[in-house]
Chain A
């Protein structure tokens, strides 16, 4: 990609010395807490969501320990309710939703489109502080004893009967929502208005399309959750009767408002990871993406359809059967754009020169696990099947295949792929491969038995269960232990690599994309001169070795 001076005249024509990278631009605590650099804010988010991930992980560990035996021996039912609620709340609102967008998106969206920062850097920093305040409320809730309603906060349990910290948790969720809204708003404006010359919509990396679609959901869905939580808190504190059936209120209204956001929220979690996978599959297959426009528009289609299917969570809760029918049909339709992505990634790999570095292994993991999660979603979208497996472990397994098998695999794949760009050093490849295999094996051992358990009729959200379910539950707990260790390994070697990793150079993968044209780590302003884009995305074509003039493999000649 040719580069050339554009923009403001005071900028020097050529920079003689390399500028300090963004990590070297100030070392004090203030230089981090008051930064408006999107790359540093991404690091702030990375640290905070990692803390929340391990907090949520501790709850998961305790849940799995309790379920090791049929009797409720580790904790009583009430404590168990608080455990799975806090696990869900922390993992969903404080880890999965910000994970890829606020870390990788924050770091990469401006770099991929050739901008110097997001459109509103101070709002970006504000979003992190808003997140921290929300996380603070959550930690306070944990200290005060947690919430026992499930992460869904259904009325009237949450408004009348629960005596846990529902209102405080509601405030935490309400506040964190605004961090998500601000991030989405920033991305939308940045992608519309900050693209470098020549970076047309159909030259954007698919990571950007995925984040654009995600941002639409954040901006359109999150405020509805916010208002649902406000109504809930008002009803709980002042007994205004909005969801109170004794006073003629309708508890189903809460479920409608809640799922209007919380179904699309699944796509907030999975779409950015899909964007990551598009980058990984092309790079490690050395091929252009198969059907660029289909993949791009499938992201938008998922965002739009995603808003029309929320009723599939309410098949058994008393909504009209005709509404159920419609929601069922629409839920089947939303599988189409997801399937397009899976087919196109597979077609991209077809006849590509595939290599098996760690990020690509995560991509394989993602495609396989997401496919299982997606197909079991179709079982649940069929009303007749859902009546039987609703609120069983079948549902638990299904959404963990999407959220953990899908979203977290994508997040970790992206972290490995861009880690050399973020810190300028490589992670240890051998350990990387070892960890991804452990995570894959541990994940399947944890959650596949849960499909069977759910099918056999084990309900979710109980701390005790009949004896015949024990074998499968022991398998699940064993898998969870492997999975937990698998997550710790990258954490350790990422920290190790900060000091001891091999120096990465600007483009260790021989990847296309503007973020690979700058030094690693990038300078604060990202690009010394505004890049001019003259090519489609993913120009990993067969002609490329001739262009760079070598007979060696593309990767070697680009290094």
Chain B
């Protein structure tokens, strides 16, 4: 592929330095992300401790079947993502594209199921705010739903960004930009995708499972 310009940016000495910088950059970004979600987890932890019964009662409103399916979908997407990275390491262009497209499809399935869940909550009047359906004693559950929507919403936003990025990477892979010497972007996109998965792995038990025996 001679028409492809050199992947080495002008300010790096060699591809190894560039790859190491890209990887460290992504890890640093993920640390930022951990602190970002960490603020939400801290708030959740405080109110779960203050109002354990309200939180346990509120979690029964969540659809555990859809939540479980979504967990499985995301774990499967991590598998296809890692297969895509492996294909990039081996320089198998077609396989990269296929696995990345599969990842996108699974990501979209997740988002679709999430949208269905949100719609249910909307019809049940469980969106925090003036029209919140639970009143009186049950009003205390409002904070559970506040955190539910903020945490899963923030997670879904990361999924949307992830789907777009994976799409771009798949496009560049299809154009033949990556090789066994240069596949850093595929690699760090994988890191990002796995991170977003892991956030869900924490969200699922905290929101759906805890307090539901």
Q: Which residues of B contact A248 (CB under 8 A)?
A: 50-51, 140, 143
27 pairs from A and B in contact (CB 8 Å cutoff):
A7-B13, A8-B8, A8-B13, A115-B11, A116-B11, A117-B11, A185-B29, A186-B25, A189-B24, A193-B21, A221-B35, A222-B32, A224-B35, A224-B39, A228-B39, A231-B43, A238-B128, A240-B142, A240-B143, A241-B128, A242-B143, A242-B146, A242-B147, A247-B142, A248-B50, A250-B50, A256-B42
Cα distance A257–B50 when bound, in Å? Answer: 17
The 8 Å CB contact of A241, one of B12, B35, B37, B142, is B142
Q: Which of B25, B38, B47, B147 is within 8 Å of A189, CB to CB? A: B25
B189 to chain A, nearest CB (A): 15
B40 within 8 A of A: yes
* Band of interface residues on B: 35 or more
Report B165-184 residues with CB < 8 Å from chain A CB: none
Per the bound structure, the CA–CA distance linking A228 and B10 in Å amounts to 39
Please determine whether B146 and A234 come into contact, CB atoms closer than 8 angstroms.
Answer: yes
Contact string, A230-242, partner B, CB cutoff 8 A, digits 1/0? 1100100011111
Q: A190's closest neighbor in chain B, by CB?
A: B21
The answer to whether A189 touches B28 (Cβ under 8 A) is: yes
Whether A234 and B25, one on each chain, are in contact in the complex, defined by CB atoms closer than 8 angstroms, is no
Complex-state Cα separation, A128 to B56, whole angstroms? 45
- Say how far B198's CB is from chain A's closest CB, in angstroms: 16
**B17 beta carbon closer than 8 Å to chain A:** yes
Report whether B130 and A116 are in contact in the complex, using a CB–CB cutoff of 8 Å: no
Q: How far is the CB of B72 from chain A (nearest CB, A)?
A: 28
Known contacts A227-B39, A241-B128; decide if A116 and B31 are in contact (CB<8 Å): no
Write the chain A residue with the least CB distance to B40.
A227
Q: Is the CB of A249 within 8 A of B32?
A: no
- Please report the C-alpha to C-alpha distance between residue A117 and residue B18 in the assembled complex, in whole angstroms: 12
Task: Confirm or deny: A376 has a beta carbon within 8 angstroms of a beta carbon on chain B.
Answer: no
Answer whether residue A226 sits at the interface, using C-beta atoms and an 8 A cutoff: yes
Say if the beta carbon of A378 comes within 8 Å of chain B.
no
Chain A nearest CB from B24 CB (Å) reads 5
User: Which A positions have Cβ atoms within 8 angstroms of B?
Assistant: 6-8, 115-121, 181, 185-186, 188-190, 192-194, 219-224, 226-228, 230-231, 234, 238-242, 247-250, 253, 256-257, 525, 530
Would you give the shortest CB distance from B131 to chain A, in whole angstroms? 10
10 additional A-B pairs beyond A222-B32, A223-B33, beta carbons within 8 Å, are: A116-B10, A119-B21, A189-B28, A192-B21, A220-B35, A223-B32, A223-B38, A224-B38, A230-B150, A248-B51
Structural contact, B42 and A185, CB atoms closer than 8 A: no
Residue of B29, B43, B130 most packed against chain A (CB within 10 A): B43
Docked pose: A118 CA to B24 CA in angstroms:
13
User: Does the CB pair A223–B35 fall under 8 Å?
Assistant: yes
Q: Which residues of chain B (1-54) have a CB below 8 Å from chain A?
A: 8-14, 17, 20-21, 24-25, 28-29, 31-33, 35-40, 42-43, 46-47, 50-51
Complex Cα spacing A463 to B207, Å: 47
CB distance from A218 to the nearest CB of B (A): 9
Q: Which residues of B contact A190 (CB under 8 A)?
A: 21
Q: Given A7-B13, A8-B13, A234-B150, do A223 and B36 touch, yes or no (CB 8 Å)?
A: yes
Interface residue ranges, B against A (CB under 8 Å): 8-14, 17, 20-21, 24-25, 28-29, 31-33, 35-40, 42-43, 46-47, 50-51, 128-130, 139-140, 142-143, 145-147, 150
Alpha-carbon distance A220/B29, docked complex (angstroms): 10
B17 near A247 with CB under 8 A, answer no
Cβ–Cβ contact B25 & A119, under 8 A: yes
- Please state if B130 and A231 are interface contacts (CB–CB under 8 Å): no
| With known contacts A189-B28, A222-B32, A248-B143, A121–B39 Cβ distance under 8 A | no
Q: A189-B25, A223-B33 are in contact. Are A240 and B38 (CB under 8 A)?
A: no
User: A122 — nearest CB in chain B belongs to which residue?
Assistant: B9
Cβ of A257: which chain B residues have Cβ within 8 Å of it?
Answer: 39, 42-43
The CA-CA distance from A223 to B39 in the complex, in Å, is: 8
CA–CA, A190 to B38, complex, Å? 26
Taken together as a complex, chains A and B put the C-alpha atoms of A120 and B12 apart, in Å, by 10
Whose C-beta in chain B lies nearest to the C-beta of A239?
B129
Return B129 CB to nearest CB of chain A, in Å: 4
Contact indicator B13/A219 (Cβ below 8 Å): no
Q: How far is the CA of A110 from the CA of B107 in the complex (A)?
A: 39
- Bound form: Cα–Cα A212–B13 in Å: 22
Q: A188 to B21, Cβ gap below 8 A? A: no
Residue in B31, B39, B40, B50 whose Cβ sees the most chain A Cβ within 10 Å: B39
Residues of A within 8 A of B11 (CB): 115-119, 121, 194, 525
Which B-chain residue is minimally distant from A178 (CB atoms)? B32
Docked-complex contact A240 and B129, CB < 8 angstroms: yes
A241 and B31 contact, Cβ closer than 8 Å, known pairs A227-B40, A231-B43: no
Residues in B whose Cβ lies below 8 Å from that of A119: 11, 21, 25
Determine which of A121, A185, A194, A234 lies in contact with B32 in the assembled complex, contact meaning CB atoms within 8 Å.
A185
Partner of A242, one of B32, B37, B43, B130: B43
Closest 9 A/B residue pairs (Cβ): A227-B39, A223-B36, A240-B128, A240-B146, A117-B11, A116-B11, A223-B35, A238-B129, A193-B21
Q: How far is the CA of A6 from the CA of B8 in the complex (A)?
A: 16
How far apart sit A224 and B13, CA to CA, in the bound complex (Å)? 35
* B139-A247 in contact (CB<8A): yes
A193 touches which of B20, B128, B146, B150 (Cβ 8 Å): B20
CA distance A59 to B130 in the complex (A): 37
CA distance A222 to B34 in the complex (A): 12
The answer to whether A192 and B24 touch (CB under 8 A), given A241-B143, A242-B43, A257-B39, is yes
Question: A61 CB to closest chain B CB, in angstroms?
Answer: 36
CA distance A7 to B9 in the complex (A): 13
Residue from the list A221, A222, A234, A530 in contact with B13, Cβ < 8 A: A530
Chain A contacts of B146 at CB under 8 A? 234, 240-242
Cβ A219 vs Cβ B36 within 8 A: no
Complexed CA–CA distance, A414 and B21 (Å): 28
Contact B24 A193 (CB under 8 A): yes
Complex Cα spacing A190 to B25, Å: 9
Most buried by B among A190, A227, A230, A530: A227
User: Which of A116, A118, A226 has a CB less than 8 Å from the CB of B36?
Assistant: A226
CB contacts (< 8 Å) of B28 on chain A: these are 185, 188-189, 219
Docked Cα-Cα span, A186 to B25, in Å, equals 7
> Within the complex, which residue of B17, B31, B129, B130 is in contact with A220, where a contact is CB–CB below 8 Å?
B31
Chain A contacts for B20, CB-based, 8 A: 193
Q: How far is the CB of B187 from chain A (nearest CB, A)?
A: 15
